[in-house]
Amino acid sequence: MNPYANEELGRADVDAIPGVVVLEFGANWCGHCQAASPLVAAALAPYSGVRHIRVEDGPGRPLGRSYRIKLWPTLVFLKDGQEIERLVRPTNAEAITLALAGLAPDRT
């Protein structure tokens, strides 16, 4: 799995992304994030059309603040820029898969 991206995306940029997007907020050193990483990868594997963006979060990071992120990892599920669902510290791939099934029923 790729590390959390250090570059800052703007909220307007994220809101303009068409289709289904999963924003994953966290930090590379976070133990909860490291534990959830294989779960997220397994759940997303059948959904090649879903864009997965790992965002490094922390103090002074405006994108995380705009989504009111408090705990890591937090997965924010978007469809055409609108938040549809959110999972905080997922502990199993099933919860992620269920959230995706409602947004992206077409598996590839």
51-56 and 20-26: which strand pairing? parallel
Mean pLDDT throughout 46-67?
94
Domains recognised in the chain with CATH numbers = 12-88 (3.40.30.10)
Distances (CA, A) of 28 to 17, 32, 54, 75, 96: 24, 10, 10, 15, 20
Mean pLDDT throughout 62-68?
95
pLDDT (tens digit, 9 = 90+) per residue, 16-35?
999 999 999 999 999 999 99
Residue 105 pLDDT > 70: no
Distances (CA, A) of 24 to 47, 99: 16, 14
Does residue 29 sit in helix, strand or coil?
coil
Higher pLDDT, 19 or 2: 19
Is 24 within 8 Å of 34 (Cβ atoms)? Answer: no
